Amino acid sequence: MTLLRKIIDWIDLRIGVREVVQKELTGYLLPRNINAWYSLGSILFFAFVLQVLSGILLLVYYVPDAEKAFKSVSFIMNEVPFGWLIRMFHAVGSNMMVLALLLHMLSVLFMGSYKRPRELNWLTGFILFIMVQGISLTGYLLPWSQLSFWATTVATNSANAIPVIGPYLVEFLRGGVLVGPPTLGRFFALHVAVIPIGIVALIGAHLFLLKRTGVSAPPFGQKETGNQWLGDSYHYENHPGGIPFFPHFALEDLRAIAIYMACFLAVLFFDPYLFFPKDAFIPANPFVTPSHIKPEWYFLANYQTLKIFPNELIGLSLQGAAMTFLALLPFVDRGPERHPLKRPLFMACSIGGLLLWIGLSIWGHFS
Amino acid sequence: MRSRDGIRPLFVRLFALMLAALITHLLPQTSFAEGPAEIVCIQCHSGMPEKYSQPVKLWRGSIHAENGIACNSCHGGDPKDAANAMKPERGFLGAPKEPAIPAFCGRCHIGVMNDYLASAHGRALGKGGPTCVTCHGNHQVLKATLELINEKSCSRCHSFDRARMIRDAMQQTDGMITTAETRIIAFKKVGSDTEKLEKELFALRNRFHSLFHNVNVEMVNKESARIQADLKKIQSVLATWDDTGRKRKIAGAAALSLMLLVALLAHLLRKTFDET
């Protein structure tokens, strides 16, 4: 212990690390009524780090070439020591991360944490959500399986419905008229470089905004649940008499992450193919169209919306409108009240929207 | 400079143009690949009287239809040109005479044709013996399975006794092949590299199928035993994979338990801070 203390003293003398720890960890106070939903942000950060690490390991053996991609994934799954674990970790992890992200957004919605002055927190979070969907979509193609190939064909085809620029956009996305080797190259670059860099930058912005505005107190267990910010000047929301981030909330985060990992491992080891349709392990064949190609579960509602309308442009426009509305929600919903039970219109709309999304997803799954 | 009256018709025209473009875009469209168009043989014959349309109906339920083998694959002709589809200069062969049937089918099924010609059935070709279509059907071509060796079919020409002995000898091997195939497909569906096993099983199945036209009971028994020995090697590889799967589940259970333990410890430790 003396040696450890000496090392810490040595570092502290040079960069004042004790002051940083006091300010950012032990002295960083959070609301006393903070709940488990607040740990979803930490879970997401942890899940993203796991995705990056497992992705880097996959890069060692993965070959982004249409001729070799499927075989390289098969090689990882069958020949590389623990390759199956790393590949499944990455594939199952992406689905679990999307699930955690949806829960995180729902908790922010229902606790009214997106309200001013946190509009930018919501906006950066929403863009992160879009980027996570983007990284999932681009990653879907990389194994170059029947599922990858045809799901990407259908997904990119949707852009055709956009007037005037649609066909050009499809060709730009695919790198050709049809999904082929150039598409794989593009999606690979997006998946391993462009989107991850964007995600890291946005996570940085999201955390910076969180630090600047302070954590919002949950509206539960309080008499006054309205928004206290008057909008006249910058104000950091501190929580005098709150619990310190370390060790109190760090332990709650650790508990939440461990529970998340337990769920993740349960899927990984006992039902690893939960998210894999049967075409996921058949090599891509541009000449054989599988009868029922479905997107990932979180795109099923979008998929079904496109199918409901006789024209894809209407379906796309509706989805675009819904996404824009969600992105700009803090600028639309400007009421001060944050408690969900005191916001009946919001509750009715959000529960209705959620049920609609679930219903469309189930319909899409069975259609 | 354009007057307000001049601008209005231009604006109306532009608006009408945009509206027309929008309506064109709103017309129903399909983004999914359509299935291949039916060949002209099916298009014409489907609408003909029973005698000519029945082959189409029978073919739809055949193993050929299942594998995309269409009319022109056997009968030749041009499946894209209705007017000239059945012209000999376009390679149309029509239906073969009975003695020519084995050679007709044997253009694709070369090994099977040789097995058949070497058998008692093949030696009786042209002397009242059976041809391919006697057992397998002509348009509703049936998949080669042991069910084709049955009393109803065989006793049309001879007693079923010897055929029964051969079928019984092959029954177990057939079951082993089916089981191995099902299990290999199941492993393939979860990403296992089954290519080598599939090739081995394919070769074994071909060896097994060559016995189908053999009527020598002793030879069928011996070859069946050899095929079974090779099938057991495939089974042992599959058993190893099963074992690996079990070990992975045990490791997973341990990792999962560890995570739950960490969660419990973090929870308990957090509670101690509450008390202090």
Chain B neighbors of A70, CB-CB under 8 A: none
| pLDDT at site B188 | 93
Number of compact structural domains in chain A: 1
- Whether the CB-CB separation of A114 and A122 falls below 8 Å is answered with yes
A122 falls within a domain: yes
The model's confidence at residue B17, banded by pLDDT at 50, 70 and 90, is low
Contacts 24+ apart (CB under 8 A), B119-123: B119/B213, B119/B214, B119/B215, B120/B215, B121/B213, B121/B215, B122/B213
Positions in chain A whose pLDDT score sits under 50: none
Owning domain of residue B199: 145-276
The model's confidence at residue B24, banded by pLDDT at 50, 70 and 90, is very low
Q: Which residue of B has its CA nearest to A277?
A: B189
Contacts 24+ apart (CB under 8 A), B259-268: B259/A258, B259/A259, B259/A261, B259/A262, B259/A265, B260/A258, B260/A259, B260/A262, B262/A254, B262/A258, B263/A254, B263/A255, B263/A258, B263/A259, B263/A262, B266/A251, B266/A252, B266/A254, B266/A255, B266/A258, B267/A251, B267/A255
Type and span of the H or E element at A30: strand A29-30
- From CA A28, how far away is CA A34, in angstroms rounded? 14
Handedness of CA B177, B179, B181, B183 (dihedral sign): negative
Relative to beta strand A29-30, strand A243-244 is antiparallel
B15 falls within a domain: no
Q: Is A180 left (phi over 0), alpha (psi -120 to 50) or beta?
A: beta
- Residues contacting A64, CB < 8 A, separation 6+: A142, A184, A185, A188
> Please, what's the largest Cα pairwise distance for chain B?
105
B108 falls within a domain: no
- Residues contacting A17, CB < 8 A, separation 6+: A8, A11
Most B CBs within 10 Å, among A265, A302, A305, A316, to test the B interface: A265
Q: Which of A158, A164, A265 sits opposite B255 (nearest CB)?
A: A265
- From CA B33, how far away is CA A352, in angstroms rounded? 34
The model's confidence at residue B32, banded by pLDDT at 50, 70 and 90, is very low
A189 falls within a domain: yes
A17 falls within a domain: no
In single-letter form, the type of residue at position A101 comes to L
Chain A neighbors of B248, CB-CB under 8 A: 269
Handedness of CA A35, A45, B264, B273 (dihedral sign): negative
- Residues contacting A312, CB < 8 A, separation 6+: A158, A160, A161, A306, B29, B31
Q: Which of B21, B188, B263 sits opposite A281 (nearest CB)?
A: B188
pLDDT tens digits along B150-188: 999 999 988 998 889 888 888 999 999 999 999 999 999
| pLDDT at site B29 | 39
Most A CBs within 10 Å, among B194, B256, B261, B269, to test the A interface: B256
| pLDDT at site B39 | 83
**Residue linked to tokens 């020598």:** B216
Chain A neighbors of B25, CB-CB under 8 A: 161, 163, 311, 313
A258/B263 touch (CB, cutoff 8 Å), yes or no: yes
Handedness of CA B188, B193, B199, B204 (dihedral sign): negative
Locate B269 and state its tokens: 């430790």
Owning domain of residue A187: 36-219+244-300
The model's confidence at residue B25, banded by pLDDT at 50, 70 and 90, is very low
Find, among B239, B66, B185, the residue nearest to A278 by Cα.
B185
Q: Which residue of B has its CA nearest to A75?
A: B193
Find, among A127, A100, A27, A45, the residue nearest to A267 by Cα.
A100
| pLDDT at site B10 | 57
A78 lies within 8 A of chain B by CB: yes
- Whether the CB-CB separation of A268 and B252 falls below 8 Å is answered with yes
Tell whether the model's pLDDT for residue B213 goes beyond 90. Answer: no
Burial class (CB in 10 A: 0-12, 13-18, 19+), A330: buried
CATH of residue A263: 1.20.810.10
User: A45 to chain B, minimum CA–CA distance in Å?
Assistant: 18
Find the Cα–Cα–Cα–Cα dihedral A286, A287, A288, A291, rounded to 10°.
80
A306 falls within a domain: no
pLDDT tens digits along B104-134: 999 999 988 998 998 889 999 988 889 999 9
Type and span of the H or E element at B4: helix B4-26
| pLDDT at site B34 | 35
Tell me the backbone φ, ψ of residue A201, rounded to 5 degrees.
-65, -40
A209 falls within a domain: yes
pLDDT tens digits along B38-82: 788 988 998 898 889 999 999 999 999 988 899 999 999 999 888
Find, among A283, A136, A130, A118, the residue nearest to A213 by Cα.
A118
Q: Would you give the DSSP letter of residue A191? A: I
A248/B270 touch (CB, cutoff 8 Å), yes or no: yes
Tell whether the model's pLDDT for residue B33 goes beyond 80. Answer: no
Find, among B108, B161, B167, the residue nearest to B132 by Cα.
B108
A280 falls within a domain: yes
Find, among A145, A140, A125, the residue nearest to A327 by Cα.
A125
pLDDT over 90 percentage in chain B: 53
User: B226 to chain A, minimum CA–CA distance in Å?
Assistant: 30
- Residues contacting B245, CB < 8 A, separation 6+: none
| pLDDT at site B68 | 87
B274 falls within a domain: yes
pLDDT tens digits along A83-126: 999 999 999 999 999 999 999 999 999 999 999 999 999 999 99
- From CA B14, how far away is CA A152, in angstroms rounded? 36
User: B229 to chain A, minimum CA–CA distance in Å?
Assistant: 26
Alpha helices in A111-160 (DSSP H): 119-141, 146-157
Q: Which residue of A has its CA nearest to B263?
A: A255
| pLDDT at site B111 | 87
Whether ipTM exceeds 0.90 = yes
Number of compact structural domains in chain B: 1
| pLDDT at site A232 | 86
B190/A273 touch (CB, cutoff 8 Å), yes or no: yes
- Whether the CB-CB separation of A61 and A75 falls below 8 Å is answered with yes
